[in-house]
Amino acid sequence: MVRCEGRTGCFAKAVVPTAVIGSIGLIIFVVGSVDMQSASSIACACILIAMVCLIAIPFGFSRERYDPQKTSELIHFSLDDLGDADELLKQIDFELAATENVEIIGARPTRFRRQTQGTLFLTETWILWFGWSKFRFLPISNILWFYKRIEIPSAWWQTSERRRVELACVTFSNELVTLRMHCEEFADEAMQVLIRKQPQALYGFQLEFKEMANKSITALQCEVARRRISWEKMSPEERAEWRNDCLADAQHFVCRVDSATGGSASPY
């Protein structure tokens, strides 16, 4: 999908200026070769201008919807700190090919940008998020803490309540990544899958986790390491109970922010 978008974007990038320049040249040639005082010449020029618009506008939209430069920037932003971007993309493609191990939450996108509304692909080891004009790729094992974040953004032009639902992820490098979801049900569904794949992580916006994060990322790392050791010693019954507790915490302890009333949230 990355390479397809890049090819389409490059095609649109090349066609738009070529079509415009060629059409302008055609107008100059035709109009310059006839008497500009005649009504037929003016009508001909108007028709050719309309043709320029009909040719250029569709490719202009295509160029906006398929932006290879922006796509490349987002890919490297997500992957450069993790290793070679090309190699990591191959790994992602390989995991996506194993469809039985891929959970898709939301509408399936056909391109990266300007179509999706908070779609998650959860592969064996990756979180692939596609939302509106952005996307992020995150290794599941790099996440220490997951919680649901609900914000009511301020909007002076409307009085009805609207909510922004996000899946918040705190990474080993102390980065808070918020992945906007289409609805709260999708966020809950994502939590269920993540708990199955990464049960030793922290779940829910709990005060003790917030205090650890505010103190230092090392405290969160140590807590996750402790939980991993405990998980490895558990029986199947204990693991099932552990997952149920994680899901209950994720659904009960939610970060809520009301920006409409001037409220603000802690970074964690």
Task: Output the 3-class SS for 17-77.
Answer: HHHHHHHHHHHHHHHHCCCCCCHHHHHHHHHHHHHHHHHHHHHHHHHHHCCHHHHHHHHHH
Strand, helix or coil at 171?
Answer: strand
Helix (H) or strand (E) holding 127: strand 126-131
36-93, pLDDT tens digit by residue? 556 565 666 566 666 655 654 554 444 444 566 777 787 888 888 888 888 999 999 9
CATH number, domain 80-261, options 3.40.50.300, 1.20.1260.10, 2.30.29.30, 3.50.50.60: 2.30.29.30
Yes or no: say if 149 and 254 are a contact pair by the CB < 8 Å rule.
Answer: yes
120-164, pLDDT tens digit by residue? 999 999 999 988 778 889 999 999 999 999 988 766 655 455 788
pLDDT at 209: 92
| Residue (of 207, 205, 197) closest to 251 by Cα position | 205
